[in-house]
Amino acid sequence: MEHDDGNPNHEGWSQIRSALQLAKHTVVHGILQGYQMSVVMNMMGAIGTIEICMSSLRFTMMVKRNG
C-alpha cells in the first residue's frame, strides 16, 4: 500500500482540485443568475478556506517527508 507523499499530482489531490473547480464554476453561475451577493461571498470564502487548508496540509506532508 502506497502512502500519499503530498505529491500534488496524486489522484486524491486531483479529485479535490476538480471538486474545487466545480465549486468555483457554481459560484460564477450563481453570480450570473443573480443569487444574493451574501450567499455568493460565503461560497467563495468557503472555497478559499479549503484551498488554503489543502495547500498547508500538502506543505506539512512534504516537510515531514523531507525532514
Burial class (CB in 10 A: 0-12, 13-18, 19+), 43: middle
Condensed to tens digits (0 to 9), the pLDDT of residues 36-51 reads 778 878 888 888 888 8
**Among the listed residues 58, 3, 11, the one whose alpha carbon sits nearest the alpha carbon of residue 19:** 11
Q: Domain spans of the chain?
A: 11-62
Neighbours of 27 (CB within 10 A): 19
pTM comes to 0.38
Burial class (CB in 10 A: 0-12, 13-18, 19+), 47: middle
Condensed to tens digits (0 to 9), the pLDDT of residues 2-61 reads 455 555 556 788 888 888 888 888 877 777 777 677 887 888 888 888 888 888 888 787
